[in-house]
């Protein structure tokens, strides 16, 4: 029935245009192109890092590779810490980076910590990102190894995306999360793409946290075991803003909407995340 009605409409329209001296040409209907699934080209990665920090210096993290986000204000999650660039909160020694959250007052906050970023010193579009780390313990700690967009091309969070290589909250010890967030899929509307794995020694031993990011998918691994996959649906930036450059972040938050959801134990401080290395391998394009 619908096709019959449409045909009748076009015939009437053609008659009207003819009487007014206009062309009888029938307008071409606009048809949306079919959604073509992306092809997984099985991209591989170079075997030598294109960017890395083995933390073989002493003192402050290498300023050629790392910068800092500084300040309090809750960071969008009602967090309790004030981030500093002090070696009291982030320092390198004996081949490891240590990020320390401490119970001390600064900037109107009762805790200090550090949030290291590679923004404008290490920005990447696709690649393999591998970090070996030991996580802090304690109720109220919220360490993360993650990525944010450098240019925010699609707008503010979550429009331009977020990649969480590792997240851990102290009230759920040794349970590690790998996630992605975008406008269509993020935690505030409970649609985030997430995988969870219990790593029995995450807070006592070093483990390798990794993300392989290609045009087709973001895949997450713990100790080389894949636990996460989010495939590009080929729709729009709302689902997949992951076609722009991102940078790395390492931090420990204190409390907050998630980290402090079950309270905070002030006796756990200083809470420390140790990082053995950070390595980034370039994707080999096809």
Q: Which residues are catalytic?
A: 162, 167
- What are the backbone angles phi and psi of residue 233, rounded to the nearest 5°? -80, -5
What would the two tokens of residue 6 be? Answer: 């449409």
Q: Rounded distance, CA 78 to CA 256, Å?
A: 5
CB burial string 128-157: b at 16+ within 10 A, e below: bbbbbbbbbbbbbbbbbbbbbbbeeebeee
Closest by CA position to 123, among listed 143, 146, 148: 148
Q: Rounded distance, CA 131 to CA 80, Å?
A: 26
Q: Rounded distance, CA 143 to CA 141, Å?
A: 6
Closest by CA position to 210, among listed 200, 197, 201: 197
Tell me how far CA of residue 34 lies from CA of 118, 128, 283, in angstroms: 39, 31, 29
Question: The tokens 């990011």 sit on which residue?
Answer: 213
Task: Kindly report the number of other CB atoms within 10 A of residue 60's CB atom.
Answer: 14
Closest by CA position to 235, among listed 227, 243, 244: 243
Identify the DSSP state of 252: E
Task: Kindly report the number of other CB atoms within 10 A of residue 281's CB atom.
Answer: 21
Tell me how far CA of residue 135 lies from CA of 90, 142, 272, 274, in angstroms: 14, 9, 7, 7
């Amino acid at each position: 029935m619908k096709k019959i009605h449409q045909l009748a409409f076009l015939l009437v329209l053609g008659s009207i245009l003819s009487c007014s001296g206009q062309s009888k040409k029938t307008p071409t209907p606009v048809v949306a192109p079919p959604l073509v699934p992306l092809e997984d080209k099985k991209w591989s990665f170079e075997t030598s890092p294109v960017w890395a920090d083995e933390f073989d210096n002493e003192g402050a993290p290498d300023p050629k590779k790392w910068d800092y986000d500084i300040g309090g204000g809750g960071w969008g999650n009602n967090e309790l810490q004030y981030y500093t660039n002090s070696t009291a909160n982030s320092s390198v020694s004996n081949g490891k980076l240590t990020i320390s959250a401490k119970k001390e007052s600064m900037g109107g906050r009762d805790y200090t910590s550090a949030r290291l970023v590679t923004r404008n010193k290490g920005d990447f579009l696709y690649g393999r990102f591998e970090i070996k780390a030991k996580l802090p313990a304690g109720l109220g700690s919220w360490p993360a190894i993650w990525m944010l967009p450098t240019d925010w091309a699609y707008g503010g969070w979550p429009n331009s995306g977020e990649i969480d290589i590792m997240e851990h909250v102290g009230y759920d010890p040794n349970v590690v999360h790998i996630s992605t967030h975008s406008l269509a899929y993020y935690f505030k509307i409970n649609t985030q793409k997430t995988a969870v794995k219990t790593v029995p020694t995450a807070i006592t031993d070093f483990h390798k946290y990794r993300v392989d990011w290609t045009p087709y998918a973001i895949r997450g691994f713990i100790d080389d075991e894949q636990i996460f996959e989010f495939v590009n649906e080929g729709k729009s930036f709302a689902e997949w803003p992951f076609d722009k450059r991102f940078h790395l972040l390492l931090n420990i938050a204190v409390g907050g909407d998630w980290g402090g959801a079950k309270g905070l134990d002030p006796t756990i401080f200083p809470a420390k995340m140790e990082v053995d290395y950070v390595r980034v391998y370039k994707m080999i394009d096809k």
